[in-house]
A = this chain, B = another copy of it.
């Protein structure tokens, strides 16, 4: 059991093709790939979930919701890049979480690492505070620190996709390393 490889599901909370959070997520996946883990991504754009409506699952969940639920179920760790819209969690990300947790909760017992990029000076601080609250409600464990805020996102990434500010790269590495360690402890011992 002890050497079982952990699986990470990566998720960006934006559907926009050139999204800064998609970029940030690609870099975070690169960092994660240096550890002994497998990684897949749930692309909200490709998934094309409908807007949440309980009536839509009267005869069973829409196919895309089933797929998202399965991807979360099969992961040990969630790696989430969240934008901030209107001082809060983006509608598309919240919509995905609401669908994925409807009726059954595949998030429960997982570990998550969150971060986010915005063009302003706050780097999704408010969105991440709310996302922590949402994930706690779903019984997802997060490290208290580091909290990673990628500010001035339009200048935050080099052409090769790595952060212009090396401190961001380092924070993401510490976050991902610590989160994987926590997930391992949970899997081995509890």
Identify the A interface with B (CB < 8 A). Answer: 15-17, 44-45, 48-55, 85-99, 101, 121-122, 125-126, 129-130, 132-145, 147, 151, 181, 185-186, 189-190
Copies of this chain, whole number: 4
Closest B residue to A110 by beta carbon equals B144
A87 touching B55, Cβ below 8 Å: no
Q: Which residue of B lies closest to A147 (CB)?
A: B136
Query: How far in angstroms is the closest Cβ of chain B from A156?
Result: 14
Instruction: Decide if A51 touches B94 in the complex (CB within 8 Å).
Output: no
The CA of A164 and the CA of B150, in the complex, are separated in Å by 26
Within the complex, the shortest CB–CB distance from A129 to chain B, in Å, comes to 6
Taking CB atoms, residues of chain B closer than 8 Å to A129 are 126, 133
Q: Which residues of B contact A142 (CB under 8 A)?
A: 144
Give the residue name and chain of the B residue nearest to A143 (CB): B141
Which residues of chain B are near A138, meaning CB under 8 Å?
86, 144
